[in-house]
Structures are given as structure tokens and as C-alpha cells.
């Protein structure tokens, strides 16, 4: 894609590409914080699967992977809402409208919880039937799905805490939350897999998500002086 774009760019007449010195310490700092946060976010999300792959059987990893992917369907609404509210958070923050940010965050959280509750209820009441979609034998992952979907529900019910911090210039708080939850997830995953096997891996992943969201929830309260829930 890069080379195709360069070919099309220079294929135009009177076109040139120049590089000039660029310095923006604020943007550089924010980018570095978000880069570290992205790495730790991947740690929270996938360390359970990777460590389970090293410590458990292939069958257990298959069950855990299927359950985790299914549970993550509940957070799809969070991704959609984030795309809508993120630019509005940035605009309201630039205008100094904290009340507007608070109202938008609270209504977004209420809407997400209302939309995701039926899905969570189905996965908690009939987890075996849900996992049978993957084929015979996957109903064994019912308990894993139940554990993981609780963590994802907390993720949704906490609201758009990540983007609240991102769009209001608090990237450092996001980074610190990610580092803390990532380290906790790694320690919990190794410990709980050793004690409880694949169930321990599911519990560790779910707890990692909960720790991450609760930590960012505390930072939102500390920096913006409100909770985006309730």
C-alpha cells in the first residue's frame, strides 16, 4: 500500500515530497504514553491465551479461545459508542464544558448497559447452548464463558473511561492504568493457571479487564470529578 501510494503521488505533475524538522513535545509525550498503553492493552487481552498455550493442553486452549471470543461480543457496543462519543469529548473539553462531558458519558453508559444486558443474560443463563455453536464438546467451556462475560460486562458498564481520559489530555493516566492491569494480569494468569488450570486462566483474564476498568474509573473521578456510571 505504501509503495502504491508513493507511485500514485509522484505520478502526478509538479509533485514533490519534502521532510522538514518537526518538534511537538506535547504530541510526542502523548504518543509515547499511548504506545505503551496499547502494548499493555494487548497484554491484558491476550496474555491469558498465550500463557495457557504454554502451560495447558491444546484442548483447553481451544475452549478458552472460543469462550473469550464469544464473551468479547458483548463489548462490541462499546467500540461503536467510542467511535461516536470520542470526538464529542474532545470538542467539549476544548470548550471547557465539563458538564457536557459528564452528561454525555453518563447517557452513553446507560445506553450501552441497556443494549448489552440481554446478550449478557443469554450467555449467563444458557452458556452451554451458546458454546454448542462451535461444535460438539465446546459445551465444556460454559463455565469459562460465564466467567469471561462478567468481566466484559464490567468493561461495558464502566463506560467509555478510556476515551474520556484520552480525549481530555490524560494519556499518562491511561498508560499507568494499562501497566498496572497488565502486570496484575500476567501474575494472576501464571498463578491461577498453576492452581486451577483453564478455569484459572479465564478468571485471570476477567479480573485483568475488571482491574483495568476500575483503575481508569478512579482516574476519571480524580481528574474530571465524576463517575461515568449511574
Whole-angstrom Cα distance, residue 223 to residue 77?
Answer: 25
pTM, whole model, 2 decimals? 0.83
Residue 174 near residue 216 (C-beta atoms within 8 A):
yes
CB-based burial label for 197 (10 Å; 0-12, 13-18, 19+): middle
> Rounded to 5 degrees, what are φ and ψ at 168?
-115, 15
pLDDT digit of tens for each residue in the chain (230 aa)? 999 988 888 888 877 777 676 677 878 888 888 888 888 888 888 888 889 999 999 999 999 999 999 999 888 888 889 888 999 999 999 999 999 999 999 999 999 999 999 999 999 999 999 999 998 889 999 999 999 999 999 999 999 999 999 889 888 899 999 999 989 999 999 999 999 999 999 999 999 999 999 999 999 999 999 999 87
- Return the domain boundaries, the chain: 27-224
Residue whose C-alpha cell reads 483453564 in the numeric block? 198
Amino acid at each position: 500500500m505504501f509503495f502504491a501510494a508513493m507511485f500514485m503521488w509522484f505520478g502526478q505533475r509538479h509533485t514533490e515530497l519534502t521532510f522538514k524538522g518537526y518538534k511537538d513535545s506535547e504530541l510526542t509525550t502523548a504518543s509515547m504514553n499511548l504506545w505503551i498503553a496499547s502494548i499493555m492493552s494487548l497484554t491484558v487481552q491476550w496474555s491469558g491465551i498465550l500463557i495457557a498455550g504454554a502451560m495447558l493442553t491444546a484442548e483447553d486452549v481451544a475452549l478458552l479461545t472460543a469462550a473469550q471470543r464469544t464473551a468479547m461480543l458483548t463489548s462490541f457496543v462499546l467500540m461503536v459508542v467510542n467511535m461516536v462519543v470520542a470526538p464529542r469529548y474532545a470538542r467539549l473539553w476544548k470548550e471547557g464544558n465539563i458538564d457536557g462531558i459528564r452528561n454525555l458519558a453518563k447517557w452513553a453508559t446507560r445506553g450501552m448497559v441497556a443494549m448489552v444486558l440481554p446478550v449478557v443474560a443469554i450467555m449467563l443463563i444458557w452458556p452451554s447452548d451458546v458454546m454448542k455453536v462451535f461444535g460438539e464438546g465446546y459445551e465444556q467451556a460454559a463455565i469459562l464463558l460465564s466467567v469471561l462475560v462478567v468481566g466484559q460486562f464490567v468493561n461495558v458498564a464502566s463506560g467509555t473511561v478510556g476515551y474520556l481520559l484520552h480525549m481530555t489530555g490524560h494519556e499518562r493516566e491511561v498508560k499507568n492504568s494499562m501497566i498496572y492491569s497488565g502486570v496484575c494480569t500476567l501474575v494472576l494468569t501464571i498463578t491461577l493457571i498453576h492452581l486451577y488450570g483453564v478455569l484459572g486462566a479465564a478468571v485471570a483474564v476477567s479480573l485483568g479487564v475488571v482491574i483495568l476498568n476500575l483503575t481508569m474509573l478512579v482516574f476519571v473521578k480524580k481528574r474530571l470529578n465524576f463517575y461515568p456510571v449511574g
